[in-house]
Amino acid sequence: MAGVAMNVRTALAVLLLAAAPLGGCGRASSEQPPLAGAAIGGPFALTDQDGKPVTDRDFAGKYRAIYFGYSFCPDVCPTTLQVLMQGYHAFAKNAPGSSAKLVPIFISVDPDRDTPPVLRQYVAAFGPELKGFTGTSAEIAKVAKEYAVSYSKEPAAKGASGYLMSHSSVAILFGPDGQPITIVPTDQGAKAVTDTFAQWVR
109-to-46, 171, 197 alpha-carbon distances in Å: 12, 14, 25
Residues paired with residue 102 on neighbouring β-strands, in sequence order: 63
Q: Which amino acid is at 169?
A: S
Task: State yes or no: 77 annotated in a binding site.
Answer: yes
180 vs 127: CA distance, rounded Å: 24
Cα Rg of the chain, angstroms: 16
Q: Confirm or deny that 25 is annotated as ligand binding.
A: no
Q: Tell me 12's DSSP state.
A: H
H or E segment and range at residue 174? strand 171-174
User: Residues with Cβ < 8 Å from 196, sequence gap 6 or more?
Assistant: 87, 173, 182, 184, 185
First to last CA, the chain: 39
Whether residue 35 contacts residue 182, with contact meaning beta carbons closer than 8 Å, is answered with yes
CB 147 within 8 A of CB 128: no
167 is in an annotated binding site: yes
Binding residues: 73, 77, 167
Binding residues for Cu cation: 73, 77, 167
